[in-house]
Amino acid sequence: MTTIGDNLYSVSTRLQQACAQAGRPRAEVRLLAVSKTFDADAVRQAWRAGQRAFGENYVQEGVAKIEALATAGDCPGLEWHCIGPLQSNKTRPVAEHFDWVHSVDRLKVAERLSAQRPAGRAPLQVCLQVDVDGGANKSGVAPADLPALAEAVARLPGLRLRGLMCIPEPAPDFESQRALFLQARALFDDLRARGFDLDTLSMGMSDDLEAAVAAGSTLVRVGRAIFGHRERKPGPPGPFDAATAAAA
Ligand SMILES: *Cc1c(COP(=O)(O)O)cnc(C)c1O
């Protein structure tokens, strides 16, 4: 059985090769370890292997883990990214506990996050989620509405607009994956050309990180390739998480 440390090593080797293939410096691409459905102890193991940035999808589950690890105090320097769909009535715990949010796709959510960001903390680092392939019931701002949203979000005092995030539909092969990621890249370049100071293009997961890096990703969000198969859908903490939090 491989350990989380072994898996992190394999993923960083994949990233190294993907960057070499794309003619990009490895330092241009950050790795976000997506720990949804895994407990605080899995985060600890990744931390011991040098990983510091973690992504969570579900607010309640993420906050429980953040608090458990902060209380235990044995993993200093953790950085927490909220990457899941956000309802506007669930923004407060996100504003209070996370460092980044990748899934902002409407102004109302951004305004609430900004207003609820505690005064003593650095601004919340934000990516706008863009719906590149117009998937039906999908999250993300439509490309046509992106510049206006960016304009408004960039003005909010509690937030710092860092870039874009996308989750395209799975595509059958490398070239079609890359083509979808290149659409996000074009939107990113367009915003930069309009004067937005952006440095983060959050795209690529366990199955398609190579195509994302080829298209210019600066941050890949990797879950299964690090932590293994997910036994359950992300959701409210179950008895398993409560036991872990208590033991922490
Ligand atoms: C779960 C998830 C990931 C990680 O996906 P894997 O396929 O496990 O690597 C990345 N981004 C988002 C938004 C996710 O929900």
pLDDT of residue 239: 42
Q: For residue 132, is pLDDT > 50? A: yes
The verdict on residue 236 lying in a domain is no
pLDDT tens digits, one per residue of 37-56: 999 999 999 999 999 999 99
Residue 234 located in a structural domain = no
pLDDT digits (tens, 9 = 90+) for 191-224: 999 999 999 999 999 999 999 999 999 999 999 9
Tokens coding 173: 């092969």
Check which CATH number belongs to the domain holding 160 and give it: 3.20.20.10
Pocket lining: 212 vs ligand 1, CB cutoff 6 Å:
no
Say whether 67 sits in a helix, a strand or coil. helix
Ligand 1 site, residue 206, Cβ cutoff 6 A: yes
Residue 223 near ligand 1, beta carbon < 6 Å: yes
Query: How many folded domains does the chain comprise?
Result: 1
CA 23 to each of CA 15, 17, 137, 215, 219: distance values in angstroms, whole numbers, following the listed order: 12, 10, 36, 11, 16
C-alpha separations of 118 from 23, 62, 104, 157 in Å: 41, 18, 18, 11
Probe target for ligand 1 pocket from 83, 131, 138, with the most ligand atoms within 8 Å of CB: 83
pLDDT at 126: 98
Report if pTM > 0.95.
Answer: no
Atom of ligand 1 lying closest to residue 83 CA: 13
Interval between CA 127 and ligand 1 midpoint (Å): 16
Would you say residue 95 lies in a domain? Answer: yes
190 vs 187: CA distance, rounded Å:
5
**Would residue 28 count as lying in a domain?**
yes
Structure token digits, residue 134 = 């117009």
Asked whether residue 106 is domain-assigned, the answer is yes
* 206 burial type by CB count under 10 A (0-12 exposed, 13-18 middle, 19+ buried): middle
Check if 221 has its Cβ closer than 6 Å to any atom of ligand 1.
yes
The answer to whether residue 241 is domain-embedded is: no
Where in the sequence is the domain holding 101, given as residue range(s)?
4-226
Q: How far is the CA of 45 from the centre of ligand 1 (A)?
A: 19
Report the nearest-CA residue for atom 11 of ligand 1.
221
Ligand 1 pocket, residue 220 CB under 6 Å? no
Mutation to probe ligand 1, out of 4, 11, 14, 34 (largest number of atoms < 8 A from CB): 34
pLDDT tens, residue by residue, 150-170: 999 999 999 999 999 999 998
The answer to whether 236 and 60 are in contact (CB under 8 A) is yes
pLDDT at 247 over 60: no
With pLDDT > 90 as the criterion, what percentage of the chain qualifies? Answer: 88
Residue 15 counted as domain residue: yes
Q: Quick check: helix, strand or coil at residue 7?
A: helix
